[in-house]
Amino acid sequence: YLAHGRGIRRLVALFDSVEELINENDRRYDDSGDEGTTIDEAPHCFSCSQDRLQNGYSYLTKTLPWFLKHCSDMDHDDYMRMLKVLRQGADGARGDDTAKLKTLVSDWVNRELKPDPPVDSDDKNCRGFVCDACGRLLCPAELDWTKPAVRAGIRDRADGHIVTDLSFPAFVYEKYTANADNLEEGLFKGKILLQGYKAIFTSPSSAKDVEGDGDGADVIVNNRRAKRSFCGMKVKKHVRFALSSVTSWRSVDGDFDYILFWRCIVDFFERPPGREARLRVEKLLEWWTRKVFGRSRREDLSNTAKANMSVNALTRQRQQRDDATFDSD
């Protein structure tokens, strides 16, 4: 259960506990049962937070397909022990991921922004807004970090410069710059964000090269992990934590609430306001698939090209030799 639990924070819910997901599903089941309808057919209006929990439960049962059967076969004490171990695995994986990015993010920042002095890979106290390079990446997208007044205002937490979860940090944008007239343009295409995703979900070495497309298969079709991760919802939180000066994990950093920030990102992908917004989300996910895993070009090969490849050519040659031997006999 400990190993299975490690996937929960990555694929199911970053902050919600398994118990909370189960309780929401049970509550809906009880409500729908009273009216003789299914959970999906129940006419109740659910809040965003309740829908988020229910979606998490759905992903839980898909990620751990054995979960429901094990729960029904267990007595209460074994069930509670299972939940405890799953929680330990989930929290342990989150801790490992934040520790991994602590060093990697400093290296990426030093390579790309070349701060002087460079960001210390071991000391987080020199990060955050006291560091110009980290401050540029953490700066709210609607503000301009290059202006001295903005830097001073953020560091002093002055009115109009308070950094909260209501602002997207610059690092989530392509080239770390937002278009004030179209804030969706370039959103979730930041290079360091992409590197963080690849370091956690593929390998740290794969994060070194993110300029071109990936070299794997089309995971929008073939990889459940990529479908759920929604272009690294959890990674955005981890990257921000790695850039900050906070030395140990906590859900609130000054005026910035990581839980509310995460929920905002989840809602961006799961609750688009209309059809066009949904299409843009799908297009963004396809971009991430291409950048992280690449696309298979196999179907682009012509039959002639396939026939000339060595595997098929060898099969054909062997058959021809056997036929020639048979004819000679």
Q: What pLDDT is stored for residue 220 in this prediction?
A: 44
Q: Torsion-angle region of residue 119: left (phi > 0), alpha (psi -120 to 50) or beta?
A: beta
Residue of 263, 281, 104, 118 lying closest to 196 (CA atoms) = 104
229, 7 contact by CB (below 8 A): no
DSSP letters spanning 252-298? EETTEEHHHHHHHHHHHHH--SSHHHHHHHHHHHHHHHHHHT----G
Size of the chain, expressed as the number of residues it contains: 329
Considering only CA atoms, which of 22, 112, 103 is closest in space to residue 59?
A: 22
The answer to whether the beta carbons of residues 121 and 105 sit under 8 Å apart is no
| Interval 155-192: pLDDT, tens | 999 999 999 999 999 999 999 999 999 999 999 999 99
Reported as a single tens digit per residue, the pLDDT across 291-319 is 887 766 777 788 899 889 999 999 999 99
Percent of the chain surpassing pLDDT 90: 45
Give CA–CA dist 128/155, Å, rounded: 10
Query: Would the pLDDT of 43 be above 50?
Result: no
Query: pLDDT tier at 147 (50, 70, 90 boundaries)?
Result: very high
What is the bridge-based pairing of β-strands 252-253 and 256-257? antiparallel
Three-class SS state of 140: strand
Report d(CA 50, CA 27) in Å as an integer.
10
The helices-and-strands tally (H runs, E runs) of the chain is: 16, 2
CA distance 251 to 239: 14
- Summarize the confidence of residues 128-150 as an average pLDDT: 96
Between CA 112 and CA 133 the distance in angstroms is 10
Q: How far is CA 196 from the centre of its chain?
A: 9
Cβ neighbors of 143 (< 8 A, separation 6 or more) are 150, 154, 161, 167
